[in-house]
């Protein structure tokens, strides 16, 4: 009987690598997959793997006064304007007036869009700090 998920236990401490099940590559939804975004969560130690249909991608980290509708509207416009497909997003507030919002996305020609993206990010109201990191295929952590 086919399930919704597959599971395995891997000795990543000694082997430091895992293999993906063959059905992953046979999945028709992933026929156009070109790469995968791998995200490591420092606080929990979790790792997430997200299939990508494009070869380029990036991470944006914003430290803002608060995550509000205006911020979400600016980010949504940014994604649409530059054809950025959101792969993963997270946010949390660690003080009363300080929140962190991170988003990973895929895009073609991300280096050509970098200065426009940075300009938009720097104009976000209530922004304390920001990071924009282009992630490249084959380049490690």
Model confidence pLDDT, tens digit, residues 108-124: 999 999 999 999 999 99
Asked if residue 120 and residue 78 are part of one domain, the reply reads yes
Residue 2, helix vs strand vs coil: coil
Confidence of residue 2 (pLDDT cuts 50, 70, 90): low
Asked if residue 128 and residue 66 are part of one domain, the reply reads yes
Which structural domain, as residue segments, surrounds residue 22? Answer: 12-52
Asked if residue 39 and residue 66 are part of one domain, the reply reads no
Which residues make Cβ contacts (< 8 Å) with residue 46, sequence separation at least 6? 40
Asked if residue 126 and residue 68 are part of one domain, the reply reads yes
pTM for this predicted structure: 0.86
Distance CA 18, CA 108 (A): 28
Asked if residue 111 and residue 77 are part of one domain, the reply reads yes
Q: How many H-runs (helices) and E-runs (strands) does the chain carry?
A: 4, 6
Asked if residue 61 and residue 130 are part of one domain, the reply reads yes
Asked if residue 118 and residue 66 are part of one domain, the reply reads yes
Asked if residue 121 and residue 76 are part of one domain, the reply reads yes
Q: Is residue 6 part of a domain?
A: no
For 27-81, what is each residue's pLDDT tens digit?
999 999 999 999 999 888 999 999 999 999 999 999 998 878 888 899 999 999 9
């Amino acid at each position: 009987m086919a399930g919704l998920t597959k599971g395995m236990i891997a000795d990543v401490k000694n082997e430091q690598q895992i293999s993906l099940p063959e059905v992953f590559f046979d999945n028709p939804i992933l026929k156009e997959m070109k790469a995968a975004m791998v995200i490591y969560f420092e606080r929990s130690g979790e790792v997430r793997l997200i299939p990508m249909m494009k070869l380029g991608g990036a991470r944006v980290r914003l430290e803002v006064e608060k995550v509000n509708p205006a911020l979400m509207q600016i980010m949504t416009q940014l994604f649409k304007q530059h054809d950025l497909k959101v792969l993963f997003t997270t946010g949390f507030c660690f003080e009363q007036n300080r929140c962190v919002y991170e988003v990973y996305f895929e895009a073609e020609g991300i280096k050509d869009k970098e200065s426009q993206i940075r300009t938009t990010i720097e104009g976000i109201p209530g922004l304390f700090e920001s990071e924009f990191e282009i992630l490249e295929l084959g380049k490690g952590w």
